[in-house]
Every structure is written in C-alpha cells, then in structure tokens.
C-alpha cells in the first residue's frame, strides 16, 4: 500500500484509493467553545466548565468534551481543501486517548483504510482512519468513520 498525500480538489469514490492521506487545517478549542457546547448539549459537568474543579482532579485546566473535539474534527474534514464528495456518514468508531484542554489547537490526519461497493453496485463505502493531534503533536483522539459515496 503506497500512501499519497492528496492535493486540494474534490474526490469521489473512484478518485480515492487505500493509502491516501488527507491533512486537515487546525482549530482552537477555546473556553468559549467548551461553554457553548456544554450549553447546547446540557453536559455541564464541572470538569468541562471550571478550571479549579479540573485541577482538583489532577488536570491543569478545564477539559474539553470528547464529543466536542470529535465534532470539531468532523468540521475540519469538511472545511479541508481536500473535498470528499460523499453522500452520508455511516458511523464512527472512536477513542478519546488524551485530554484536550481549553486553548489547545487540534488538527487531524485522515487515511483511507478500505473501500468496497454495496451489493447493489450503485454506491461505495470508504473507511477513513482519523488521528487527531494537539499543538504539541500528541495524539489525543483516534478512530474510524465510514462514508457512503454515489458511484
């Protein structure tokens, strides 16, 4: 399997191959973003909203919701200069490996790990492995996402 870093452009099922790599831009996970996500979801656990509460639990500052980081990563995928011409997401298999703190900046690297056509032959499914890194290059989250494409 040879990997190739994809250049800017739009990519459909036939354009992608196992080993392709997509590097996203980055996004800051600010305290305001964390507070907004807490208000939106109702997950107002103090670890996410209070620096002192986080310090009492051994963290240097408030910790971003894992699902917030995943949501931002999905947005980075769609704001990338490499545009995936997929129809819909079929699901996520995801791990939160390290905490992400208010003020951290994240980015993702996507790798095409598998391709297959559906039984009808009218659509294709591509699995992408995601590795999410903070500003220090530490992998903080990882997982896979399957997208379905029209053929």
pLDDT of amino acid 56 = 97
Q: What are phi and psi of 32, to 5 degrees?
A: -65, -40
Q: What is the pLDDT of residues 111-122, one digit of tens each?
A: 999 999 999 999
Q: How far, in Å, CA of 71 to CA of 78, rounded?
A: 11
What does the mean pLDDT of the chain come to?
Answer: 97
Classify residue 100 as exposed, middle or buried by CB count within 10 Å of its CB (0-12, 13-18, 19+).
Answer: buried
pLDDT at 1: 65
Residue 126 pLDDT exceeds 80? yes
CATH code of domain 4-29+64-150? 3.10.129.10
Task: Please state the rounded mean pLDDT for residues 56-73.
Answer: 97
Place of tokens 């690297």: 109
pLDDT at 2: 78
Q: Report domain extents, the chain.
A: 4-29+64-150
SS3 56: helix
What's the pTM?
A: 0.94
């Amino acid at each position: 399997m040879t990997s190739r870093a994809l250049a800017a452009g739009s990519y459909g099922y036939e354009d992608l191959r196992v080993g392709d790599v997509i590097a996203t831009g980055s996004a800051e996970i600010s305290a305001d973003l964390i507070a907004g996500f807490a208000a939106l979801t109702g997950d107002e656990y103090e670890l996410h909203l209070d620096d002192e509460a986080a310090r009492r639990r051994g963290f240097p500052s408030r910790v971003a919701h894992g699902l917030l980081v995943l949501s931002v990563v999905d947005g980075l995928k769609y704001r990338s200069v490499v545009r995936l011409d997929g129809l819909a997401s079929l699901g996520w298999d995801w791990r939160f490996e390290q905490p992400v703190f208010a003020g951290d900046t994240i980015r993702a690297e996507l790798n095409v790990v598998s391709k297959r056509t559906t039984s009808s032959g009218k659509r294709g499914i591509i699995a992408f492995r995601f590795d999410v890194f903070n500003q220090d290059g530490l992998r903080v989250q990882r997982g896979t996402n399957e997208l379905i494409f029209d053929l």
